[in-house]
Structure 1
């Protein structure tokens, strides 16, 4: 998934003069891609292609496509331990997000994923020595209260994830927080490296993590049948193009908007997911689950607003 916590990248002349409304539109469109991305993976699973193998293949195609499109920036690439760490974090994020939304209730998994601000604040305090402050503590309490409220309304009757899919969404959010903090740290340690290079690293990580996850989690007996269908290949290639395009739009928006404002706009992903899951599935949230989800979204929104200058 797209990183949204990197340090401010150097902008080219075209994006520097781009109006802020256009940059915001790019981020909203990129968020929309991730808000609906769960559905193609469910289609592929229905055709017999496991979600993890589909995720790995899509990541590999997206990495190749991104490398071709961004090849002129490879001269700025700098190697360090942050590169594989960022790729692994992104791969775990994508694997947990895809597996959770394919096998669980989309909105419950996505809201657990959006506990990311909680983990980002804690990891930034630990790794980047950023102060949390009393406002941050209040927002963390609000987000965690929303999670407890939402989870306690589930079938398990306990304030923690009640299914493997929900655990996958929670772990994906934690990995996404690691991804954000590592991306910010990479921007600080390697200021001359173009941020587009992290896009290639992210998709490469999705490919590399997705394959062993497929061996562990997918039922591979149906894979040959899925590959015999032309629709499978068309959808995989189409998803790779859309994911690269969505990532590029967000990166373009980040060149004009502060990262914290972009984080607020990225919450539009939840709106798209809510509408798409309501239209395309029979899944519905209870009033208690919606109230808990609202607390999580509010905490994420206030987290971005509280850091705006």
Structure 2
């Protein structure tokens, strides 16, 4: 009896650890907008802050994963993952630094819409009626959140909101290309994509800063050390967060991960209300709930059926 109880508790602990890993990762990203705003306030700017943290995170990843570098493979898929990750991070950082955090993040989380369409295009995955219904629900929520009688067409109203939307599209490309890379480059260690991701974040943010902010930032001498501490601290946290998240990704089905990652929105809502006194109107909240529901239902609708169920259905059909 005691051995059965111990086995059950061990199983629960093993199943709980990956869930906690995903929730920790989601929490970090739900709060990450704040240190980026602090760095922007100290004179570095959101884009250069993203470039600096991405560069340091990449270097940390190179040192930590140096023994796996021999498995690295370069192809258009790997380059695409880097570019998509850069667009994702740049869109998220610039949007959350310069806009309303929750509106930007909710537009970012239209990702299931773009993932379904991009997977249909690149991977040839079929889009069933349930998937189409979830796309309609998510777009309806976005339209409800963005619509104002004066503006007419429900489109993002600010550059920050467009940035969040672009970041979500980049995230969708990243998801699809990562799945493609797993099939095309099975010999490449999955952890090495962390280096590719941060390299893309650094490169895209730096190029965007070069185009939009050609002048060097002006940082007060007294702010230099706090700024450096923020950059190093955030880069270390992001690398650790990515490692923790990878632990969960390798042990949980993708549909469950997509549901757990929505916890980021909860953390962002609380942190933006607490730290920036930002709130949503009733209409914006209703639209946001539609987007969250579409993301949650996409994880449920596309959940793979158990083999036993599939086998019994096949037997019934014969």
Q: What is the TM-score of this pair, normalised by structure 1?
A: 0.91
Q: Give the number of equivalent residue pairs.
A: 294
Superposed, 1:1-309 pairs within 5 Å as 19-153=14-148, 156-218=151-213, 220-225=215-220, 229-309=224-304
Gapped regions of structure 1 (runs ≥ 5) = 1-15
SS of the residue aligned with 1:132? coil
The answer to whether the 8 A contact 1:227-1:233 is kept is no
With over 3 angstroms needed to count, the CA separation of the structure-2 counterparts of 1:114 and 1:171, relative to structure 1, is same
The whole-number CA distance in structure 2 between the counterparts of 1:194 and 1:84 is 16
SS of the residue aligned with 2:220? helix
The answer to whether the 8 A contact 1:50-1:220 is kept is no
With over 3 angstroms needed to count, the CA separation of the structure-2 counterparts of 1:18 and 1:144, relative to structure 1, is same
The whole-number CA distance in structure 2 between the counterparts of 1:236 and 1:295 is 35
How far residue 158 of structure 1 moved from its aligned partner, in angstroms, is 3.4
The whole-number CA distance in structure 1 between the counterparts of 2:149 and 2:86 is 28
The answer to whether the 8 A contact 2:42-2:219 is kept is no
The whole-number CA distance in structure 2 between the counterparts of 1:279 and 1:158 is 32
The whole-number CA distance in structure 2 between the counterparts of 1:161 and 1:154 is 14
Higher RCO (C-alpha 8 Å, min separation 6): 1
- Over the residues paired in the alignment, what is the CA RMSD in angstroms? 1.8
How far residue 218 of structure 1 moved from its aligned partner, in angstroms, is 3.6
The answer to whether the 8 A contact 1:38-1:98 is kept is yes
Which structure: larger Rg? 2
With over 3 angstroms needed to count, the CA separation of the structure-2 counterparts of 1:294 and 1:57, relative to structure 1, is same
The answer to whether the 8 A contact 1:51-1:218 is kept is no
SS of the residue aligned with 1:32? helix
Q: What is the TM-score of this pair, normalised by structure 2?
A: 0.89
The whole-number CA distance in structure 1 between the counterparts of 2:150 and 2:206 is 32
The whole-number CA distance in structure 2 between the counterparts of 1:41 and 1:218 is 17
With over 3 angstroms needed to count, the CA separation of the structure-2 counterparts of 1:300 and 1:306, relative to structure 1, is same
1:8 corresponding residue in structure 2: none
Gapped regions of structure 2 (runs ≥ 5) = 1-10, 305-318
How far residue 264 of structure 1 moved from its aligned partner, in angstroms, is 0.8
The whole-number CA distance in structure 2 between the counterparts of 1:61 and 1:255 is 25
SS of the residue aligned with 2:198? helix
The whole-number CA distance in structure 2 between the counterparts of 1:227 and 1:107 is 32
With over 3 angstroms needed to count, the CA separation of the structure-2 counterparts of 1:156 and 1:308, relative to structure 1, is same
With over 3 angstroms needed to count, the CA separation of the structure-2 counterparts of 1:155 and 1:91, relative to structure 1, is farther
How far residue 23 of structure 1 moved from its aligned partner, in angstroms, is 0.4
The whole-number CA distance in structure 1 between the counterparts of 2:100 and 2:279 is 8
